[in-house]
Amino acid sequence: MASVSRSGWFHSPPSGLLRRALQLPTLLYRLRLGWLLGHRFLLLTHRGRRSGRVRHTVLEVVHYDRRSRECVVAAGWGARAGWYRNLQAHPALAITVGREYYVPEQRFLSDAEVRATLRAYQRRHRLAARLAARLLGTPIAQAAPVPMVAFRPRAR
């Protein structure tokens, strides 16, 4: 993997109202209503690196390619995010996005791919990018690159 920032954009998990708002996609997936989120969020099923237990994490999709069905997600808390470290130890078990469910192939993006993905995200999702820029203090395409992972259906 390339030299992507290990620290991520955020230094501590959100609290208060922001934390509750960020938990909404998880609630929708638990209620089997994740399809309402379309391709903006996915449910990652992965194995704990130490415990070996199956874990579920809802992540924002920063890029979705309809042709290849590839989803790209960012580790906003950097390489120390639990789900990210779990993927380094064990490949993802499953992805649920929109009405799709599949066993994925995964790959960690290079710095160049991360920067291109962030520029495209900023163009496609102007409001979300502006909100992120306020939190980060700089436009996301200019912020330090964060680790990203791409998932696509495993070839048979």
Residue range 110-154, pLDDT digits in tens: 999 999 999 999 898 888 888 878 877 777 777 777 899 999 999
CA distances from 24 to 72, 98, 112, 134, 150 (A): 20, 15, 32, 21, 23
Instruction: Map out the domains of the chain with their CATH numbers.
Output: 16-153 (2.30.110.10)
Write the single-letter amino acid at 54: V
Determine the Cα–Cα distance for residues 80 and 46; give it in Å rounded to an integer.
Answer: 16
128 alpha-carbon distance from chain centroid:
14
Residue-wise pLDDT tens digits, 23-63: 788 889 888 899 999 999 999 999 999 999 999 999 999 99
Q: Is the pTM of this model over 0.85?
A: no
